[in-house]
Amino acid sequence: MKLIDGKQLSQTIKEEIKLEVDEIRAKGGNIPHLAAVLVGDNPASRSYVRNKVRSCEFAGFESTLIQKDASISEEELLEIIQELNENEDIDGFIVQLPLPDHIDETKVTLAIDPAKDVDGFHPINFGKMAQGLDCYLPATPYGILQMLERYNIETSGKNCVVVGRSNIVGTPMSILLSRKANPGNCTVTLTHSRTRDLAGEISRADIVIAAIGIPNFVGADMVKEGAVVIDVGINRVEDETRKSGYRLVGDVDFDAVSEKASYITPVPGGVGPMTVTSLLLNTLKASKLK
């Protein structure tokens, strides 16, 4: 078994980005500027946005953080988005999800200028991705592609099973791995909670992408010998031995599945850091397009 170290790979790519930004700065070019909008006080969201800000600082980006109380109205949030759309100094921005229940996430996503949609969630970017056109790829799937490519994992002709069909991970992942590209050229099965014999589908996979949001869902009995296992899940489970009272686990039973997998991502330290790095890559791309 070989560990796919997302934390180390993320650092390597951020160092590459930093070198490129240093060169842009030396030539007097446009320095990438990423903005993030954080609504409410969700601890996971705050931590994620904080990591984005730190990564921007490391890579030499300019960054702006806009924090608003959960009581903000939908209209007020849409006004902030419009201001960011019109701000020529901002190359790209994200609105951190989830949002409070009284705000329509779809309406917010549609309000973002596709040219600044570095999270890759806008239907225009999604549609371009589906047709193989140049666009901003969704950050988590983009990070997974980077992992497969940088670790020289063969995907062509392989059977890939994606567990989970969200618009953020599962569905775009199934499109990206089936396209005529490298990584890609997989035969992809997109599974979910209504799939019959889900364990049987997973057991036939050469590559498993687990993004179903259930702690330790994928067990060793579901994974065939030598499979590549990418764990997108991040779940809190109670653990009285920890000071925090909990620990983070993925959607894969890591200890058991790692005995059979040829490659596997850990949680934490796997896909998560690569999501942030992909956001930087998209912002750098947006900056260059200007």
Three-state DSSP class for 230? strand
Q: Is residue 282 part of a domain?
A: no
Lowest mean pLDDT, pick from 1-5, 10-14, 117-121, 236-240: 236-240
Residues 221 and 159 in one domain: yes
Name the active-site residue from 91, 117, 119, 206: 119
Secondary structure (DSSP) of 35-97? EEEEES--HHHHHHHHHHHHHHHHHT-EEEEEEE-TT--HHHHHHHHHHHHH-TT-SEEEEPS
Q: What's the rounded Cα separation, in Å, for the pair 246 and 97?
A: 22
Tokens of 39: 């609504």
Which residue would you say has higher pLDDT here, 242 or 16? Answer: 16
Residues 244 and 156 in one domain: yes
Counted domains in the chain: 2
Q: Is the pLDDT of residue 61 over 90?
A: yes
> Which of 217, 208, 183 lies closest to 262 in space, CA to CA?
208
Report which secondary-structure segment, H or E, holds 130.
helix 123-130
Categorize the per-residue pLDDT at 145 as very low, low, confident or very high, splitting at 50, 70 and 90. very high
Q: Which domain holds residue 71?
A: 27-113
pLDDT tens profile 214-248? 999 999 999 999 999 999 999 988 888 888 888 88
18 as an active site residue: the answer is: no
Phi, psi torsion values for 149, nearest 5 degrees: -70, -45
User: What pTM did the predictor assign?
Assistant: 0.95
Categorize the per-residue pLDDT at 62 as very low, low, confident or very high, splitting at 50, 70 and 90. very high
**In whole angstroms, how far apart are CA 280 and each of 259, 268, 287, 288?**
34, 20, 10, 12
CATH number of the domain bearing residue 225: 3.40.50.720
Mean pLDDT, residues 258-262: 97
Q: Is residue 183 part of a domain?
A: yes
Q: Is residue 20 part of a domain?
A: no
Kindly state the percentage of the chain with pLDDT values over 90: 91
pLDDT at 244: 80
5 as an active site residue: the answer is: no
Name the active-site residue from 52, 91, 206, 251: 52
Q: Is the pLDDT of residue 271 over 90?
A: yes
Q: Is residue 15 part of a domain?
A: no
CA 241, 244, 245, 247 torsion-angle sign? negative
pLDDT tens profile 110-140? 999 999 999 999 999 999 999 999 999 999 9
CATH number of the domain bearing residue 84: 3.40.50.10860
The answer to whether 168 is a known ligand-binding residue is no
Residues 149 and 194 in one domain: yes
Q: Is the pLDDT of residue 198 over 80?
A: yes
52 as an active site residue: the answer is: yes
The answer to whether 165 is a known ligand-binding residue is yes
Name the active-site residue from 91, 96, 117, 231: 96
Residues 259 and 144 in one domain: yes
Residues 160 and 103 in one domain: no
Residues 107 and 205 in one domain: no
Q: Is residue 13 part of a domain?
A: no
Per DSSP, 8 falls in state H
